[in-house]
Amino acid sequence: MHIGYMKRFIRIMLMLVFIGLSFISCSQKNTTTKKVKDLNPLFVIIMEGKYGYIDKTGKIIINPQFDDAWDFSEGLALVKIGGKYGYFDKTGKIVINLQFVYAFSFSEGLACVEISGKWGYINKTGKIIINPRFNWANNFTEGLATVEIGEKWGFIKKTGKVVISPQFDNAESFSEGLALVKIGNTIDKYGIKEDGKLGYIDKTGNYVINPQFDVAENFSEGLARIRIGDWETGKSGYIDKTGKIVITPQFDVAENFSEGLARIRIGDWETGKSGYIDKTGKIIITPQFDVAENFSEGLAKVGFIVACSTMFKRSRCDIRLKTDNKKNGDSCFLKAKEIPVTNNKEIPHINKKSEGFFEWLDKARQLGGVYLDYVSPQYDIYYYNYGYIDKTGKYIWEPTK
């Protein structure tokens, strides 16, 4: 998840589109927490609008039955049925009842959940460990978690005590001893402008790499993705922990390294294709996929567009938009299901926390996935067939299956 664009939108995307990763938008030594290898990993599939799980051979282990589902983390998987989130084990048995408005997967023994509009943390029995009191929160990594208090972001430890005071305009979780933070956002008549700079701090809150980037991500396997230039003409590359560029910015889109490979894209979102590079920047799997995710447990989820529909007139999610009908151009989330397809009526603006927004996105995704186009005024929904490949690019689950 990067914060060079907009924190809440990306967290939603992470949860709804590329989960397995998260915002958008739940760890006690000064080293990165080591991931315990899962000897029997399961992978999410979707069949006829329901989510289930397969093993590495492609065998169905948990029959598709969930409205939505995420990768297993620490033995439990976050799932959704009927508008509520809960947690299941690998036998398909419910462990924590479906009860939360919104929730994240477990990390370091805790998961952040939304209760009555505030975020807190539960343990694997479902017991509340840190009372819900934060505007927003992220998972614990390396013993610390980012939380939003007021209008600023800081860090707490597992007792709930604040250890790095809220002072950043945005902040991401610690990874490999460093955390990505943003300072310098300004406010104009349209609201907050995401024009600050990104840098990296250590666990004392001191800067290791000074804020200088417009777009960046956390470190993974010793490298971090950065972007030079704007979203239309800029290119993405990678830096090391001294801030030195080690893979020249050359990719239209790039993501962090996972299991030695990183997902990159050549071309724009409409016509480009995704593939994978190694840490020298060499292309290992030729860009050929419409969408792709990071490798995990030796496999990567990839997909192809099977349908696209322009469904709604809209303004952008959490992006300031000045319309002819609304001169002040407020930033907002839209309850998209209420927006007409035709005519030039005023685009409605509603509160960011409006009920039904997440639910609408989930419904839209049930046919196989949803990607939200940034371009106004249409709300483009892309439907995909997904499959899994190994590190040679060979399919173990065909996208058309």
For the cut 50, the answer to whether the pLDDT of residue 332 exceeds it is no
Residue 396 lies in a domain: yes
Residue 385 lies in a domain: yes
Share of the chain above pLDDT 90, in %: 59
* Alpha carbon separation from 343 to 2, 246, 340, 346 (Å, rounded): 35, 50, 8, 9
Write down which residue in 296, 328, 353 finishes a domain. 296
Residue 307 lies in a domain: yes
Specify whether 313 is located in the same domain as 355. Answer: yes
Burial class (CB in 10 A: 0-12, 13-18, 19+), 244: exposed
Which among 256, 168, 244, 257 is positioned nearest to 216, based on CA atoms?
256
Residue 397 lies in a domain: yes
Specify whether 390 is located in the same domain as 308. Answer: yes
Specify whether 292 is located in the same domain as 308. Answer: no
Specify whether 270 is located in the same domain as 329. Answer: no
**pLDDT given for residue 344 in this prediction:** 35
Please name the residues in contact with 289: beta carbons below 8 A apart, sequence gap of 6 or more.
Answer: 273, 274, 275, 302, 303, 304
Write down which residue in 271, 296, 321 finishes a domain. 296
Confidence band for 137, pLDDT divided at 50, 70 and 90: very high
Q: What is the pLDDT of the chain when averaged over all its residues?
A: 77
Residue with tokens 């894209």: 265
Domain span at 281: 221-296
Read off the pTM: 0.69
Specify whether 285 is located in the same domain as 334. Answer: no
**pLDDT given for residue 321 in this prediction:** 26
Residue 48 lies in a domain: no
**pLDDT given for residue 77 in this prediction:** 97
Residue 226 lies in a domain: yes
Write down which residue in 281, 296, 311 finishes a domain. 296
Please name the residues in contact with 202: beta carbons below 8 A apart, sequence gap of 6 or more.
Answer: 177, 178, 208
Residue 79 lies in a domain: no
Specify whether 287 is located in the same domain as 379. Answer: no
Specify whether 261 is located in the same domain as 315. Answer: no
Phi-psi region of 74 (alpha: psi -120 to 50; beta: other; left: phi over 0): left
Specify whether 323 is located in the same domain as 273. Answer: no
* Alpha carbon separation from 24 to 97, 193, 236, 248, 349 (Å, rounded): 24, 18, 19, 26, 21
For the cut 80, the answer to whether the pLDDT of residue 352 exceeds it is no
Which among 292, 327, 295, 157 is positioned nearest to 220, based on CA atoms?
295
Rounded CA-CA distance 180/137 in Å is 15
**pLDDT given for residue 292 in this prediction:** 94
- In sequence order, the β-bridge partners of residue 306 are none
Specify whether 235 is located in the same domain as 313. Answer: no
What stretches of 1-150 show up as alpha helix (H) in DSSP? 7-16
Specify whether 267 is located in the same domain as 337. Answer: no
Dihedrals phi, psi of 72, to nearest 5 degrees: -65, 140
**pLDDT given for residue 106 in this prediction:** 98
Specify whether 314 is located in the same domain as 385. Answer: yes
**pLDDT given for residue 48 in this prediction:** 85
Phi-psi region of 109 (alpha: psi -120 to 50; beta: other; left: phi over 0): left
**pLDDT given for residue 31 in this prediction:** 33
How many residues can be counted in the chain?
A: 401
Residue 170 lies in a domain: no
228-254: pLDDT as tens digits = 987 778 999 999 999 999 999 999 999
Confidence band for 100, pLDDT divided at 50, 70 and 90: very high
**pLDDT given for residue 54 in this prediction:** 94
Specify whether 310 is located in the same domain as 387. Answer: yes
What's the domain count of the chain? 2
**pLDDT given for residue 271 in this prediction:** 84
Are the beta carbons of 123 and 130 closer than 8 angstroms?
A: no
